[in-house]
Amino acid sequence: MAGKPIVFIDGGDTLVVEGSIKRDENDVVQSTDPVPGALETLRWLKDNGYTVCMVDDVKNQSVTNVFMANGHLDCFAAVSTSEEAGVAKPAAGIFENAMKKLGLSQEDKKKIIMVGNSCRNDIAGANRFGITSVLMDWSPRHNMTPQNADEVPDYIIHRPDELPELLERLERRNGG
């Protein structure tokens, strides 16, 4: 993983609090509250030269509504949604779509990390796809106990503000 890791990141209960989501009649998110420290971490990632791609099981307009409203849409180099990819996590297609949108090659996979809150969707999807998995385990809404080997994360963080330190540690370890 020479160079800066490329960050794929989930939305619900990773960047925004799922319990605060307000949707319209078409299931499009209209508003939500950020996870404490998430917006500051997103800004830090952008300001420090990390490539960040939202990889989320939502409708495209949901991402725009939430992150344009809070002024952080520019933190994402790309967005890959289940609506656009035609599949939801843990399917490989949503990760392949993210790589395509960022212009990444198979060689780049060793630099990608997926940060999410679901062992079943985010972690298993990342592990099966061959990228580094990071579980953010703060949310009481999801089972944080892996049910099989695919669901075991490579790393665990408890809050968004722990991500910068993990990324810097991965860079140092891998000669970045």
Going across the sheet that includes 155-157, the strands are 78-81, 51-56, 6-9, 112-116, 132-136, 155-157
pTM for this model (two decimals): 0.95
CATH number at residue 128: 3.40.50.1000
Q: What is the pLDDT of residues 18-31, one digit of tens each?
A: 999 999 999 999 99
**Residue 1: inside a domain:** no
What residues make up the domain containing 124? Answer: 6-140+152-173
Higher pLDDT, 87 or 174: 87
DSSP helix/strand/coil, 48 = coil
